[in-house]
Structure 1
């Protein structure tokens, strides 16, 4: 599982405009604008996205009058590619990955905040390293261009350091976690469940987490811009289903956890251990996030911040256009 990468779509999205006309979700075989349409919705392994499985198994999409073909991806990157090339109507993905797709030419619209990472992304250090400031001169493994790379830079900045002050060791997240446990590196940036692997090193601990930077790592439901334009009724029904699903989960917590844990391939106890590190967003939290502002809690501010990171890390040549990225009207239309 390789979730939350900011840089893997460059080649795909650069040719998205060429392949979209021939794809299932953006091509000539699509229903006419306004006609009923099936929503092909992708998601992958992250606690904030497993509620979609609950929605499917409990028939909540159908209750809202929308036909949804739910597609689970073992590879998160594959789900990003599928949306960028028009083979999905919508996907659950990070803000950073959405910006990367847009940089490559894809036209996508965020209609819902699924969650914020509030601890499940971590900078984990070996014994003897107790603060971020202690990372100076140390070997730190992180997958370049990921949100955990972004988290590392945020943490370094708060400690008065930059990436130049550490010995960065670019590694895939799973490899980095493994290298940390064998002493190959002194610290690692990772997300759950690879945090569990890293913390298997005796005496290791998280010295910074996404909980320290509220709003820095948001996850969303993202539609192709064309689908939003042509089929707003279906988009509205899917957004309403999300909040209906959260209500069902609240009323049936044990049954919901069993459904989500089974899909995740972990025990119910293991799944519960990830709950605190992922904050599922209510309608009220969605409304607050979509409100323009100048804090990390505001999506427009966070999008600009991540775009600047992408340019500074040389992941893109120029900041992606943000016009039309955020569309709050579907959340606003859901009854409280």
Structure 2
């Protein structure tokens, strides 16, 4: 399989060696669901996941008969918590769901929240005008996350190789400082961090984004098998709330209120968050159900996940190819 094909997988399609090692050392135990406890869900600052904040503050989960406790994390920390058995579910990309599973924390993707439509990006410092200008230069990003893959895929399309740039490993939330330092020519980050990086380095601009790779990056809610099996009726109700969230965010009459709620959660102003929201294509349950049909290519969660799995094995994130079908349960989007 051609490298440029393999690379187009999920947003943080693999989480590099540091996270892989962290998952290996984390407990492989699966959260045990108890009927009296709230569903524990980890979420972080990606716009498609912050959207759940609307349901939380409006009380829609309780109205649907769902006792759910959302817990706020930095992205990598949310997956660590899930892998350690501290959560029933976590919001992540399809590729990272496979990474967690490949390192012992099995999970099942029950719904899609969105796909990235420009919010993942390679940002060049002032004076860097195009991706091709990075040849021979340093790029700061979190090795193994989707910006790494996005960069390689963009370089490949230009006839360049990863060795044509020097990667500087940096935590995504530290990339604004890395770009501002001037020590690198570009960074890789997703919104809102990418926006912070551009604000801190006047004249910096996106060189390549997920909008250049339509259908590349799927974001999901994934659940431990024990919780899904033991509390399926509750998870069906949980999924059923999503259409109300999407409708409220997309309705021009209610969108300002929705944006205010989401922007406050991530600590930025509403106009800025509105721009970030445009780079995230929220999916209704019906739209998600179409993507959760088994097919090849990036119009399918299955196809994208198979490419992610191939990449993960090729680059030894985990050793053995996985059964992608076992990671996806599309029935809940139909209320089953």
With 192-201 and 301-310 compared, the bigger mean Cα shift is at 192-201
Root-mean-square deviation (Å): 2.3
How far 1:213 moved relative to its partner? 0.8
Shift of 1:12: 4.7
Distance in 2 (CA, whole Å) between partners of 1:321 and 1:286 is 21
Deviations 1:170-227 (A, max 9, x none): 2222433323233211122111222223324343321210111122221111110111
**1:58 maps to what in 2?**
58
Q: 1:248 to 1:187 in 2, by over 3 A?
A: closer
Count matched residues.
Answer: 321
5+ residue gaps, structure 1? none
Range with bigger deviation, 249-258 or 195-204: 195-204
Contact 1:119–1:277 (8 Å) recurs in 2:
yes
State the shift of 1:313 in Å.
3.4
Higher RCO by CA contacts (8 Å cutoff, separation 6 or greater): 2
SS in 1 for 2:324: coil
Going from structure 1 to structure 2, the CA distance change for 1:175 and 1:249 (only over 3 Å counts) comes to: closer
- Name 2:32's counterpart in structure 1: 26
- Measured in 2, the distance between the counterparts of 1:123 and 1:57 equals 34
Once the two structures are superposed, the pairs formed by residues 218-233 of structure 1 within 5 Å of their partners are 218-233=218-233
- Determine which of 267, 273, 276 is the counterpart of 2:275: 273
Distance 1:17 1:203 in 2: 45
The partner residue of 2:294 within 292, 295, 299 is 292
Distance 1:263 1:123, change over 3 A: same
| Cα pair 2:27 2:83 within 8 Å, conserved | no
Give the CA deviation at 1:317: 3.0
Measure the CA separation in 2 of the matches of 1:158 and 1:248: 39
Match of 2:49, SS?
coil
User: Structure 2 length normalisation: TM-score?
Assistant: 0.87
Distance apart, 1:96 and its partner CA: 2.2
Question: Hey, what does 1:162 align to over in structure 2?
Answer: 161
Partner residue in 2 for 1:261: 263
Does residue 195 (structure 1) correspond to residue 191 (structure 2)? The answer is no
Distance 1:58 1:10 in 2: 37
* TM-score normalized with structure 1 length: 0.87
The change in CA–CA distance for 1:128 and 1:271 in structure 2 (over 3 A counts) is: closer
CA 1:323–1:13 in structure 2 vs 1: closer, same or farther (change >3 Å)?
A: farther
Tell me the CA shift for residue 66 of structure 1.
1.5
1:144 equivalent to 2:156? Answer no
Deviations 1:117-171 (A, max 9, x none): 1111111223554332332222222210111111111111211222122222222
Structure 2 regions of 5+ residues with no counterpart? 1-10
